[in-house]
Amino acid sequence: MTQDTRNVNGDSTGTAYDVVVVGGGAAGLSAGLVLGRSRRRVLVVDAGEPRNAPAAHMQGYLSRDGMPPAEFLAEGRRELAAYDVEVAEDRVTAVLPDGAGEFEVTLAGGRSVHARRIVVATGLVDELPDLPGVAERWGRDVLHCPYCHGWEVRDQPFGVIASEVTGIHQALLVTQWSKDVTLFLHTVRELSDEDWEQLAAAGVTVVEGEVAGLEIEDDRLIGVRLAGGQVFPRSALFVDAKPLPRHGLLNELGAAMQDTPVGPYPAVDPTGRTSVPGVWAVGNATGPKVQVIHAAAAGYQAGAMINYELVMADINSRTAMEL
């Protein structure tokens, strides 16, 4: 792969890219695809920890429903290769402004590259309730998103562990997939009258007391155990996972954050443009409810806008030189 084949201006050096995309999940790869097809020199750097890696299947992505997540990403990388987009299995450790409106990017593997624009597509980490068995079963029979997994476990006995009051809403929601739902109040001490009324109307059984752990047999969840020792047979469990966005690079760049009900996320325009000129953020880095199809769409929008901005920047600088 030579850089000249993908650079319409023919002005590349071995370490100079139009765009460095940090993160090679759906959001980052999609940005890379649009930029590659726009004849941009692109480096996608991916540390290889996509959020849905524990799940066997990716659901709800039209035309790819049920595809294993790793296969989806491998297919994406194959598509990018057709446009000479470079994908590096590495981690970006720093993005520093170069003083001229562009960026110096440092990779953990020792490379240092220059980029005119940056896409932050670093995703997030789900912080799970600290209960024995939960991390091991995550994405298998311990779940958070009924749109991702509800169909596959429909009509089974569901448990919902409420670490916060959002668990109550989750219990109400999942009654769409099973009529046998038990809500474990766990650390939630009080419910409002409205909560009790809605839970009763939805047919949700409510169990008070802290959960101590899960019962597993033959590599399957079979029950939820309370601190008092009582076991409730359940085969699918929904938990409140706390989303922890990977915002280190954006914070170091000084990107403005906005408060959301689940904590601060970068303030971005509809194309993903952050408050830092030249830096875009897309995918789960911009919010926890972003599904794969949204992440891919956001990457596309950012890629197209970055290309347009670069086209105009180059035209304007030529115009300025001619004056």
Strands 142-143 and 236-239: parallel
| Nearer CB in complex with ligand FAD: 54/213 | 54
* Residue 317: CB minimum distance to ligand FAD, A: 30
Q: Are 166 and 186 in contact (CB under 8 A)?
A: no
In angstroms, what is the minimal distance from the CB of 291 to ligand FAD?
3
Q: How far is the CB of 295 from ligand FAD (least distance, A)?
A: 4
Burial class (CB in 10 A: 0-12, 13-18, 19+), 215: middle
39 and 6 in contact (C-beta within 8 Å)? yes
Least CB distance to ligand FAD at residue 240 (A)? 13
CB of 157 to ligand FAD, least distance (A): 20
Answer yes or no: are the C-beta atoms of 250 and 266 closer than 8 Å: yes
The residues binding ligand FAD (CB under 6 A) are: 22-28, 45-52, 54-55, 58-61, 91-92, 121-123, 126, 139, 145, 148, 246, 283-284, 290-293, 295
Considering the complex, what minimum distance in angstroms separates the CB of residue 135 from ligand FAD? 12
Residue closer to ligand FAD, measured from CB, 60 or 314: 60
Give the C-alpha separation, 294 to 211, whole Å: 34
Cβ 22 vs Cβ 68: under 8 Å? no
Residue 67 or 231: the one with the smaller Cβ distance to ligand FAD is 67
CB of 205 to ligand FAD, least distance (A): 25
- The CA distance from 189 to 55, in Å, is 32
**Toward ligand FAD, which CB reaches closer, 206 or 239?**
239
**Ramachandran quadrant class, 156 (left: phi over 0; alpha: psi -120 to 50; beta: rest):** beta
Q: Rounded CA gap, 215 and 302, in Å?
A: 45
Q: Which is nearer to ligand FAD, 11 or 127 (CB)?
A: 127
Instruction: Give the whole-angstrom CA distance, residue 243 versus residue 293.
Output: 18
CA 113, CA 107: separation in Å to the nearest integer?
A: 8
- Please, which residue, 39 or 248, has the CB nearer to ligand FAD? 248
Of 26 and 206, the one with the shorter C-beta distance to ligand FAD is 26
Q: Give yes or no for a contact between 245 and 285, defined as CB atoms under 8 angstroms apart.
A: yes
Reported residue count of the chain is: 323
